[in-house]
């Protein structure tokens, strides 16, 4: 499914939300054949329970602090840090402060 705001060749705003962070919502930026990119928004204390996706992913922290719970360890992500996870890796994400991150998923056809 192509999202309406998914036009190739059209710049998308992925700057930190700043003052709009506490009322921001997780949103898909685009989903195409090979890639899906979304902005994950979590206010302090909120979390995504451990889950898996088929393809490899990157989580790029844009603002705030995130804790990513993996099978064998817990990783803290600060703004400007990027985490790469293999396909199928179980991961949960918790916001240590209001936070947003860019999540890129390699889609498996």
Q: 21, 24, 29, 103: which one contacts a second copy (CB under 8 A)?
A: 29
Least Cα distance to 70 among 85, 51, 90, 53 occurs for 90
Min CB(7)–a second copy separation in Å: 8
CB 77 within 8 Å of CB 68: yes
Cα 1–chain centre separation: 19
Tell me which residue of 64, 89, 90, 58 sits closest to 76, measured CA to CA. Answer: 64
Is residue 83 a contact point for a second copy (CB under 8 A)? yes
Provide, rounded to whole angstroms, the least separation between the CB of residue 86 and a second copy: 5
How is residue 94 written in tokens?
Answer: 């918790």
State in angstroms the smallest separation of the CB of 98 from a second copy. 18
Stretch touching a second copy by CB under 8 A, among 26-34, 41-49, 93-101: 26-34
**How big is the site for a second copy, counted in residues (CB under 8 A)?**
43
78 contacts 52 by C-beta, under 8 angstroms: no
Residues that bind a second copy (CB under 8 A): 6, 8-16, 29-30, 32-35, 37, 55-56, 58, 60, 70, 72-73, 75-87, 89, 102, 104, 106-108
């Amino acid at each position: 499914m192509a999202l309406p705001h998914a036009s190739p060749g059209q710049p998308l705003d992925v700057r930190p939300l700043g003052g709009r962070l506490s009322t921001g919502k997780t949103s898909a930026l685009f989903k195409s054949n090979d890639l899906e990119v979304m902005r994950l928004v979590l206010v302090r204390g909120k979390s995504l329970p451990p889950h898996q996706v088929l393809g490899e992913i990157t989580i790029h922290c844009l603002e705030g602090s995130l804790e990513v719970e993996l099978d064998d360890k817990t990783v803290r992500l600060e703004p400007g840090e990027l985490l790469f996870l293999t396909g199928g890796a179980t991961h949960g994400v918790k916001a240590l402060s209001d936070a947003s991150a860019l999540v890129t998923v390699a889609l498996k056809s």
